[in-house]
Amino acid sequence: MTRAEPGADLLFQAEIKAAVRTAYRDIPTGAGAVLAERLYPREVVDSLPAAAISWALGVGDPVAAADLTPGEGVLDLGCGGGLDTVLAAREVGPEGRVIAVDVLPEMCARTRAATEAAGVAERCEVEVGEMEDLSVPDQAVDVVISNGVLNLSPRKSRALAEVARVLRPGGRLCVADLVVETDLPPEVLASPAAWAGCIAGAVSERVLRRKLVRAGFDDIDVAGHTGFSLDEVALYPLFTPEVMELLRQLLPREVQQQVALSVIARCRRPERPDDAPLAAPSVAISGATPLAAIAPDAVEAPGVTVRHLKGVEDAQLKVLDVEPGGSTPHHTHAHAHEGVVISGRGRLRLEGGDQPIGPGDAFSIAPREPHAIESEAEHPLRFVCMDCLFD
């Protein structure tokens, strides 16, 4: 299979995951007091263990916006050095508890040390885990917070579905994250450092809201918009001088003034028991398997590779490679569904019969029509799938 050309605006999900992990594993320290003082009130910074301050890597103050009350159970996704874990543990008090999850054992060790130094360790559980596949049980917590983490996921819909699963009905999500409203150059979008630095993976506010709706959340409020200039981006140790130089060369001056906006997104899992946590519309057509209930990141079939293309506002444009002899699941979409075959040959399997497809063929499938795409040639069948663009 051919790989993306250097500079192309796409990365494999596995590459993104590896780049993010390597970047956070390799940094010798966080952004420190300069960043912490920008994000949190002075008295809060002064009250925290020095190590938690030095490992600050967030983009906002989700705990202040989460309205935590004593006794609540909180999940801190991507806890890093543990600054928000400590703040949340103080808010929920001795009767409450905080589960802190980070993909890196090194970060979990820092969070444990911070909770011990702050005297709140007995109400905190720190676990190594991935936000896209949490080991936290269903409906286990009242509130999920995260700070500069969701934008690191190449599978944000999946991560949000996990958040919805672990929240009790009526529970809240309060996430500090970056949104990017401009089209960044492909070289930036394909830069591992820009992914690790929360820029390349950031979606627009509109897409963030849409993903929250699709994950089943209500009462969505996105507030606290604060611009991040290139100079502020440089506070984060993820950006090496070389990457900063690349960004300065590639980004127009006006974009350099405001590369991204940090926002606080708050929403709620509905109380009503008949509201499924996954907003995926269920499409009841006998014989059809909804594509993981039409969650946009959910093509998981042997021999099928999905890459998400950035550069379209919706961020749902995907490239799929179906290996010779392979097939996507037989699935449906709630929307008109269009695709263009780039290379390879195969068949579009529809209820009414099969249709051969090859390079240059564009296909359009009616909403809710069950279909599968099969590869028949020696090489993978590659197509761009314009899924979910037609809400």
Ligand X SMILES: C[S@@+](CC[C@H](N)C(=O)[O-])C[C@H]1O[C@@H](n2cnc3c(N)ncnc32)[C@H](O)[C@@H]1O
Burial class (CB in 10 A: 0-12, 13-18, 19+), 342: middle
Cβ proximity to ligand X, 262 vs 332, nearer residue? 262
Rounded CA separation 31/9 (Å): 28
Cβ proximity to ligand X, 115 vs 153, nearer residue? 153
The answer to whether the CB of 82 falls within 8 A of the CB of 55 is yes
Residue 46, phi then psi, degrees to nearest 5 = -65, -20
The answer to whether the CB of 355 falls within 8 A of the CB of 348 is yes
Beta strand 141-147 pairing with 124-128: unpaired
Cβ proximity to ligand X, 54 vs 305, nearer residue? 54
Rounded CA separation 178/184 (Å): 14
Cβ proximity to ligand X, 235 vs 340, nearer residue? 235
Closest CA to 246 of 201, 190, 202: 190
Show the tokens assigned to 65.
């916006």
Cβ proximity to ligand X, 42 vs 253, nearer residue? 42
Cβ proximity to ligand X, 153 vs 328, nearer residue? 153
Least separation in angstroms between residue 363's CB and ligand X is 33
Least separation in angstroms between residue 344's CB and ligand X is 31
Kindly list the residues in this chain that would bind ligand X in the complex (CB under 6 A).
20, 24, 56-58, 78-81, 83-84, 101-104, 107, 130-132, 147-149, 152-153, 198
Least separation in angstroms between residue 169's CB and ligand X is 24
Cβ proximity to ligand X, 147 vs 327, nearer residue? 147
Least separation in angstroms between residue 335's CB and ligand X is 28
Least separation in angstroms between residue 101's CB and ligand X is 6
Least separation in angstroms between residue 139's CB and ligand X is 20
Cβ proximity to ligand X, 85 vs 328, nearer residue? 85
Contacts of 311 (CB under 8 A, 6+ apart): 9, 183, 184, 186, 189, 317
Cβ proximity to ligand X, 34 vs 362, nearer residue? 34
Least separation in angstroms between residue 287's CB and ligand X is 35
Show the tokens assigned to 239.
């950006």
Least separation in angstroms between residue 158's CB and ligand X is 10
